[in-house]
Amino acid sequence: MVRYRKLGYVELNVTDLEKSVAFYRDTVGLEPAGKGPEGEQRFRCSEDPFAVALHQAPKPGFKRGGWMLEDASQFPVLHKRLEAAGVPYETFSATECEKRGFASGTRIMEPNTGAVMEFYLLPANVTPRAFAPTVAKIQRLGHVVWATPHKVEAVAFFRDVLNFAESDSIGENTTFFRAFPNPYHHGIGVAKGAQQRFNHLNFMVTEIDDVGRALARLKANNVPIVFGPGRHPASTSVFIYFLDPDGLTLEYSFGMELFPETNARQPRFMSTAMEDFDVWGARPTPNFGAKGVIEAT
């Protein structure tokens, strides 16, 4: 079975790079980390070289994401599973690794969401560097959620081919997975939707006060808040969702259920009643998760 460390990075397309750089730096609180090889602007929110990258593009949305494997021995396991499932994959060339700062990597287009997923390792000589918080004490990149009309097939692919561990489902609407054996309740969410699209990107914060301060900061800067603050009963997270300059949905969350590697509880099938989506009584606006294409390769 494939073993992971974490969701390492997510790269987004934005329509006004300069405006978005200022927003992700000053309002979200990410640390600038220089330019990538395609001219993208990189940001940090953890000890890794980068966790978010913004690309100038005609349409806003999801470009690609990277999941850090546990070690190099996981690549042949991953490749064998993809081959058995008939899913094409591409290994990173030495040139691409050097340009992007990776030791090795494999890329696929997930067949049910259309999302480009990369599986990678950093070079052994990369020294972890502490993230310096500004407006929010961000702990880590949390999760990414996509919507697809092929949700049943996507759930089977993440579970049976990629070995993501299912944590919970909200009816037939959304299923949450953790990147096994990463303990956090979910690093990926797959929602049922009429089209393949990006739903939201999450940042986990260190204190519940980060959510409260975000509420005041977002209101002061006229940033649309599209859901929350509230608490999700599935993951136990306290949350607030808001929009970036392109209308892409971002989330801060505090707290999350942790799973042991062995003898973990079974995934739950929870109701779609709003009180089982937020126990505090908040309700999403129509703009929640409404914008964001998934870039076709």
Reported as type and span, the H/E element at residue 12 is strand 4-14
Last residue in a domain, options 91, 121, 151:
121
Q: Are residues 213 and 108 in the same domain?
A: no
Whole-number pLDDT of residue 297: 72
Within a domain: 128 = no
Total domain count for the chain? 2
Q: Are residues 267 and 143 in the same domain?
A: yes
Q: Are residues 216 and 288 in the same domain?
A: yes
Q: Are residues 114 and 153 in the same domain?
A: no
Q: Are residues 180 and 286 in the same domain?
A: yes
- pLDDT tens for the chain, 297 residues: list them: 999 999 999 999 999 999 999 999 999 999 999 999 999 999 999 999 999 999 999 999 999 999 999 999 999 999 999 999 999 999 999 999 999 999 999 999 999 999 999 999 999 999 999 999 999 999 999 999 999 999 999 999 999 999 999 999 999 999 999 999 999 999 999 999 999 999 999 999 999 999 999 999 999 999 999 999 999 999 999 999 999 999 999 999 999 999 999 999 999 999 888 877 899 999 999 999 999 999 987
Q: Within the chain, what is the greatest distance between any pair of CA atoms?
A: 52
Q: Are residues 180 and 256 in the same domain?
A: yes
Cα–Cα distance for residue pair 72/110, rounded to 1 Å: 21
Q: Whose structure tokens read 């599209």?
A: 226
Last residue in a domain, options 56, 87, 121:
121
Within a domain: 126 = no
Q: Are residues 142 and 289 in the same domain?
A: yes
Whole-number pLDDT of residue 83: 98
Structural domain boundaries, residue 150: 138-294
Within a domain: 208 = yes
Q: Are residues 144 and 287 in the same domain?
A: yes
Q: Are residues 197 and 283 in the same domain?
A: yes
Residue 166 belongs to a domain with what CATH number? 3.10.180.10
Within a domain: 131 = no
Within a domain: 98 = yes
Among left, alpha and beta (phi > 0; psi -120 to 50; other), residue 13 is beta
Q: Are residues 27 and 155 in the same domain?
A: no
CB contact set of 205 (below 8 Å; sequence gap of 6+): 136, 137, 138, 139, 211, 214, 252, 253, 254
Within a domain: 129 = no
pTM across the whole model? 0.97
Whole-number pLDDT of residue 44: 98
Choose among 45, 73, 71: nearest CA to 129: 45
Within a domain: 66 = yes
Among left, alpha and beta (phi > 0; psi -120 to 50; other), residue 14 is beta
Last residue in a domain, options 121, 150, 179:
121
